[in-house]
Amino acid sequence: MKPILVLQHAHYDWPGYFTDCLTNWEIPYTLVNIDAGDVLPDSITDFSGFAVLGSTMCAGDIQTHPHLTATYALLREALQHNIPIIGHCLGGQMLARAAGGIVIPAPSPEIGWHQINPLHTAAAYDWFGGLNPVTLFEWHNETYLPPPRAELLAGSFYCLNQAFAIDGIHLGMQFHVEALPEKINHWLDTSREDIANANDQNIHSEERIRKENWLYTEAAQAVARQLYTRWLKNVEYK
């Protein structure tokens, strides 16, 4: 059985609900935690899929974070060999860049629980399992222009590009469907400067986020399970 390679860039951005689902579904995975001193493999071909998580680093911070060079090499190899990729936040931005897209500063950074609107397309319906708006957690200062091969799946009021698919097997997301309340509260405890200018529009207050964690988490997990299940359809881990 080939495991899924899960890349954790930083100690504060652990895989959360993503690996909870893999464990519950008895799907093997290998976690590479860069902060813990783990090293990325030389090739992705020994793995059935590649999951890339988020971080406060930027997608272009190659000089300050040398492991990003190896990450981009693995992403391009996975694209070449049709090994499914799933990217969360920074991971989605890196997938976009590896496939020929551009990562740019977000016109309006998003922090908090925001409404995500699936596009009225067959591809969006396929991935989201419906076209109704969903409320998902966001924490990002950059966004991406999708690569030429990408099919846009969803957007939001403050960020037009919230999710995209490539060739029906790779998924890039700007939002954090893997984030559970424990993880979000940790970010709030350690990154208060990011929400110092909360306006309850694109950047929500700490009090509001903590309250809405319990309001939206259950529904967000249902969206996560739908997206993960759809992505796993093309992961040949058996």
Q: What are the 10-residue block averages of pLDDT along the chain, 238 residues in total? A: 95 96 98 96 97 92 92 98 98 97 94 97 97 97 94 96 98 98 95 87 95 97 98 90
What integer pLDDT is reported at residue 62 of this predicted model?
Answer: 86
Give the residue from 69, 7, 73, 67 showing the smallest Cα distance to 43.
Answer: 73
Residue 163 near residue 173 (C-beta atoms within 8 A): yes
Contacts of residue 211, defined as CB under 8 A and 6 or more positions apart, other chains included, come to none
What integer pLDDT is reported at residue 200 of this predicted model?
Answer: 83
List Cα–Cα distances, 126 to 91, 116, 155, in angstroms: 21, 16, 16
| Domain boundaries 4-232, corresponding CATH code | 3.40.50.880
Kindly report the pTM of this predicted structure. 0.96
Give the residue from 80, 54, 73 showing the smallest Cα distance to 175.
Answer: 54
Residue 224 has phi, psi (to 5 degrees) of: -60, -45
Residue 44 near residue 89 (C-beta atoms within 8 A): no
What integer pLDDT is reported at residue 238 of this predicted model?
Answer: 67
Question: Measured between alpha carbons, how far is 32 from 14 in angstroms, rounded to an integer?
Answer: 11
Residue 178 token pair: 């893997």
